[in-house]
Amino acid sequence: MIRITIGNDIDHLLIIMIIVALFKSTDMFGEMDREEIQQLMSRQILGRLGCHANGLTYIVPVSYAYDNGIVYCHTQEGQKLTMLRLNPRICLQVDNTADLANWQSVICWGVFEELKKDDERLYALTVLNGRSFPMQTSGKMRINLEWPFTAKEASDVPGVFFRIVIDKMTGRFEEAVGKHSQMIY
């Protein structure tokens, strides 16, 4: 048991300040500015795409590339494309999580556009091939045996290229004070 004798008001104030400092949170929450949002979107390659059609909401991870307010993706026919064609309004969430006290998260809203013209598909292919990947990737991340695509023409690549034209983005973060250097950028 600790016994404290308070001699005067200054001692009392010092003890209160020490107690408050011991229990004060060392985490900082905040909103990301436009530049921080752009950096996170450019550095990450995986997001969670949310779409909604016929009363069903569907959220699925997608590999992507970001270029000047547009997200480019490549996929195969399936539930995601069926829903996107019915309702092109989307939500995309991208994050960077070092640990539960150090993270960044961006939410984007925009419109799905399937790319059918050769020049648009080729540009999407070029942007997707320009991404920086982690040192080790899974077979599924590579999409096919030729990943990154070696084709000179987008028409040589099976599947569907699409883009999301972003019309709104917001970002939030949590950072433990003094731990900024632990964030993975």
Query: At 58, is the pLDDT very low, low, confident or very high (cuts 50, 70, 90)?
Result: very high
Quote the CA–CA distance of 174 and 13 in Å, as a whole number: 31
How do residues 155-164 score in pLDDT, each as one tens digit? Answer: 667 789 999 9
What confidence category does residue 139 fall into, taking pLDDT thresholds of 50, 70 and 90?
Answer: low
Looking at residue 15, its pLDDT comes to: 65
| Bridge partners (DSSP) listed for residue 57 | 52
Sorted by sequence, the CB contacts under 8 Å of residue 79 that are 6+ apart come out as 58, 60
Q: How confident is the model at residue 179 (pLDDT cuts 50, 70, 90)?
A: very low
Q: Domain locations in the chain?
A: 26-182
Q: Phi and psi for 68 in degrees, rounded to 5?
A: 50, 55
Predicted confidence band of residue 132 (pLDDT cuts 50, 70, 90): confident
Half-sphere exposure of 35 (CA within 13 A, CB side): 0
Which residues does 125 contact at the CB level (< 8 Å), separation at least 6? 74, 149, 151, 154, 157, 161
Task: Indicate the CATH number for domain 26-182.
Answer: 2.30.110.10
The CA dihedral of 123, 125, 128, 132, to the nearest 10 degrees, is -100
Q: What is the pLDDT of residues 20-48, one digit of tens each?
A: 554 555 557 888 999 999 999 999 989 99
Torsional sign, CA 141, 146, 150, 153: negative
